[in-house]
Amino acid sequence: DAKTTQPPSMDCAEGRAANLPCNHSTISGNEYVYWYRQIHSQGPQYIIHGLKNNETNEMASLIITEDRKSSTLILPHATLRDTAVYYCIAFASGGSNYKLTFGKGTLLTVNP
């Protein structure tokens, strides 16, 4: 699976959009980009995933560049409860390496 690179930490003001970047320059054609988050002391929570088209659900939007080498998770109106570590993961569905691998992620702190 492709390695992903994320900034270790980011800040965001409450009510503003939080844009979390992720680089995955070695991503292969069959690897999806997945985002999870982990609120302090809890287990990770699935947010969204995509292959090459932009995706939106009730939690967030995912923007993937045309060359698929990077992506951005957007939380449109961040709240204090969105303070968490956000993980970007590249994973090939249907592959033989069944390991959803969590790196260190980005600690997003939403400030009042």
Partner 1 sequence: NAGVTQTPKFQVLKTGQSMTLQCAQDMNHNSMYWYRQDPGMGLRLIYYSASEGTTDKGEVPNGYNVSRLNKREFSLRLESAAPSQTSVYFCASSDTFDRGYGYTFGSGTRLTVV
Residue 81 in contact with partner 1, rule: CB under 8 A: no
Which two three-digit tokens encode residue 2?
Answer: 């492709």
103 lies in the binding site for partner 1 (CB under 8 A): yes
Nearer to partner 1, 26 or 77 (CB): 26
Residues paired with 33 in a beta bridge? 50, 90
Residue 87 near partner 1 by CB under 8 A: yes
Q: With CB under 8 A as the contact rule, which of the stretches 19-27, 33-41, 66-74, 75-83 interacts with partner 1?
A: 33-41
Binding region for partner 1 (CB under 8 A) out of 19-27, 30-38, 63-71, 72-80: 30-38
Q: HEC states along 3-71?
A: CCECCCEEEEECCCCEEEEEECCCCCCCEEEEEEEECCCCCCEEEEEECCCCEECCCCEEEECCCCCEE
Q: Which residues sit at the interface with partner 1, rule CB under 8 A? A: 32, 34, 36, 41-46, 49, 87, 89, 91, 93-95, 98-105
